[in-house]
Copies of this chain bind each other. A is one copy, B any other.
Amino acid sequence: MTATDDHIDRLPTPAMVHATSQAERVADMLRAFVIDGELAPGVRLSEEKLSRKYQVSRNTLREAFRLLSRERLLVHRMHRGVFVAHPTGEDVRDLFNARRALELPAVRGAAQAPEPLIRAVGAAVEEGEQARAASDWWRMGSANMHFHEALGALSQSARVNEFMRQVLAETRLVFHVMAAPREFHDPYLPWNRRIHLALTAGDTEAAAEELAEYLATSEEQLATAFSGMERSTRG
């Protein structure tokens, strides 16, 4: 041992190891399924069936349910069970209000952001363009999520990042409610490219304006699609 143990400081912190409980593992699997749309919005998750399928007790499964309910990916209805969240038109508007509140200021403040954060934005743009070249529509959606997550990260708060991830995950659910993945992601790539370009040029205001337009357009698109849906599925 040397007198100074600065080599210890280079080791991963305990927060990174993060031993994971059974409930969290189940929650992770379910989260992935829900976000990937393999569990359709509105579907009920039976405690008995799922606990048998995942080989965990009902109590453990319920802990997992609590976690995902807090993330708004599942909704817990007393004595009725938990269901995959089924966002409404109102949710769509709220989600976009939240995104405006988070992303726009993050972009406007990008002047103080360290360079790697800007690069992450660029990486997400390229991921999207690669996915487009491969006609991988679902991955295009993921890339778009990463893009906006990277925008949110410009605000430089771990808590905001976490919140941003949640909001985007929920937004992704919206796309599952209506089955139209392709056309909805298609036109947004060039927008992302322009936003990134403006950011690297240091013109945060231009980036913010492009973003505001994007959000307005996307919200409009989803909201109209939803109002049509809800009229026909009123119950």
Interface residues in chain A, defined as those with a beta carbon under 8 Å from any beta carbon in chain B: 19-21, 23, 59, 62-63, 66-67, 70-72, 78-79, 94-95, 97-98, 101-102, 104-106, 155-160, 163, 167
Name the CB-closest residue of B to A158. Answer: B94
Closest residue of B by beta carbon distance from A70: B70
A172 to B178, CA, bound (A): 41
Interchain CB contact under 8 A, B66 and A157: no
Count of this chain's copies in the oligomeric assembly: 2
Identify A106's interface contact among B63, B101, B163, CB under 8 A: B101
Q: Give CA–CA (A70, B163) in the complex, Å.
A: 11
Residues in chain B near residue A167, CB distance under 8 A: 159
Which residues from B are CB-within-8-Å of A78?
A: 19-21
- Bound together, the chains give a CA A62 to CA B62 distance in angstroms of 10
With a cutoff of 8 Å between Cβ atoms, the chain B residues found around residue A63 in the complex are: 62-63, 66
A194 to chain B, nearest CB (A): 22
Contacts of A98 in B (CB 8 A): 155, 157, 159-160
Give every chain B residue within 8 A of A163 (Cβ-Cβ): 163
Known: A70-B67, A78-B21. A105 touches B94 (CB 8 A): no
Chain B residues with CB below 8 A from A94, complex form: 157-159
Q: Are B67 and A101 in contact (CB under 8 A)?
A: no
Question: Which of A20, A79, A95, A98: most chain B Cβ within 10 A?
Answer: A98
